[in-house]
Amino acid sequence: MSIRPFRNIKRKKTKVINVGKVKIGGNNPISVQSMTNTLTTDIKATINQINEIHSEGADLVRVSCPDEASTKALKEITKHIDLPLVADIHFHYKRAIEAAENGASCLRINPGNIGDKKKINEVIKAAKNNNCSIRVGVNAGSLEKDILDKFREPCPEALVESAIRNIKILEDQDFFNLKVSVKSSDVFLSIEAYRQLSEATNYPLHLGITEAGSFISGSVKSSVGVGSLLLDGIGDTLRISLSDDPVKEVKIGNEILKSLNLRKRGVQIISCPSCARQGFEVIDTIKILEQKLSHIKTPITLSIIGCVVNGPGEAAMTDIGITGGRNGNNMLYLSGVQTEKVLTEDMITRVVNEVEKKVSELENN
């Protein structure tokens, strides 16, 4: 049993590209990525963080490559990770070439910032020779001077013009294994830029609100911006940019997709905000259950409601449910059916056991 959406989101059908073993675009799942904040030259720390990011449910990971030592480190890093690596390149064309040759599955660049045509062609040649895709990454904070002069300030039209210009640079060299982003820290600017870009190109789009801020404010801004675009059917991959642990970026990205029924992974908990009617401490219970069930990857729904006002209705739509009762007697629901009363002191252990039992059944069927 699972919650059924009132409507399904109709995604725009984009071109399918390969980023390592992950397919982006078309009908493929919307991928989630994050970026390491370790020094890439600290190989051990970078590998550990990438594996933590992967464990949280990331499909791709990006690392910064500001110098030759960083790009050379990719060769060893890629031996110890199991997801495609995106090399973040800004200006120096040699870093892009080195990254492609040392195991990167994608280069995040602005071709227009690389320099003359000869340098751009060398980067494209390295990408082709190493089966490496490219993300054209347009940012409101680093638009080309002539485009800024034309529009006087970052605006949706400016971001889209920059993106189309950079796409054409790659297409003119017969390179088409690319995705595109037009990011801004302004939610409204980002949304409109992506909407216009979606009309202008068929390449897969990488979504994000750049420099979104701290965990709370950044998560809210990203949920509004990225969520609005996803509801429009726009977007093939995403990153939530937070001034926080990269693992949290993945968690928020997955939660946004889960809330829109675009991704099914792990335990989806439906819980009440708690009030004077609650039969047990809902807030504390949820915190404990999230921790104890964090290892679950199989999609499963769980409702934890403190009283009988909305509890039975929510439990009817989830795999497992608990509704708070009087004197510590709470009702357990399995597959929407009222099953038996469970004492508050036994409730968390019972719920965890029922979730793991249900997961085992689903995995064996």
Average pLDDT over residues 8-16: 92
Interatomic CA distance for residues 31 and 36, integer angstroms: 17
The length of the chain is 365
Q: Which of 66-70, 174-178, 254-258, 312-316 has the lowest mean pLDDT?
A: 312-316
Task: Give the pLDDT confidence score for residue 175 in this predicted structure.
Answer: 96
Angle at alpha carbon of residue 36, lines to 143 and 72, rounded to 5°: 90
Which of 66, 84, 88, 46 lies closest to 246, judged by CA? Answer: 46
Residue 90 scores a pLDDT above 90: no
Distance CA 90, CA 70 (A): 13
User: 17-259, what's its fold?
Assistant: TIM Barrel (3.20.20)
**Confidence class for position 176, pLDDT limits 50, 70, 90:** very high
Determine the average pLDDT of the residues in 144-173.
94
HSE of 348, CA atoms in CB hemisphere, 13 A? 15
Other C-beta atoms within 10 Å of 231: how many?
Answer: 13
Provide the pLDDT for residue 46.
98
Does residue 222 surpass a pLDDT of 90? yes
Residue 289 has pLDDT above 70, yes or no: yes
Residue recorded with tokens 């690319």: 178
Tell me the C-alpha to C-alpha distance, in Å, between residue 201 and each of 9, 181, 242.
20, 11, 28
132 vs 275, residue with greater confidence: 132
Average pLDDT over residues 235-246: 96
Residue 49 φ then ψ, to 5°: -70, -40
- Domain 267-364 architecture: 2-Layer Sandwich (3.30)
pLDDT at 76: 98
- Domain parsing of the chain, residue ranges: 17-259, 267-364
Q: pLDDT at position 311, please?
A: 87
Q: What is the pLDDT of residue 214?
A: 95
Contact 138, 164 (CB under 8 A): no
At residue 246's C-alpha, the angle toward residues 216 and 268, to 5°, is 65
Query: In the predicted model, what is the mean pLDDT of residues 88-104?
Result: 93
Task: Say yes or no to pLDDT of 2 above 60.
Answer: no
What is the rounded average pLDDT of the residues 62-84? Answer: 97
pLDDT confidence of residue 4: 47
Q: What is the mean pLDDT of residues 79-106?
A: 95
* Higher-pLDDT residue of 112, 335: 335
Mean pLDDT of all residues belonging to the chain:
93
Local structure of 237: helix, strand or coil? strand
Q: Summarize pLDDT for 301-344 with one digit per residue, the tens.
A: 999 999 988 889 999 999 999 999 988 999 999 999 999 999 99
Sheet with 320-323: strands ordered across: 267-271, 300-305, 320-323, 329-334, 337-343
* pLDDT over 90 percentage in the chain: 82
- The DSSP secondary-structure symbol of 205 reads B
| pLDDT above 70 coverage of the chain, percent | 98
Name residues whose C-beta falls within 8 Å of residue 240's C-beta, 6 or more positions apart in sequence.
34, 208, 209, 212, 218, 219, 222, 226, 249, 250, 252, 253, 256
Strand partners, 323: 305, 331
Nearest to 30 by CA among 192, 222, 264, 194: 264
Q: What is the pLDDT of residue 7?
A: 62
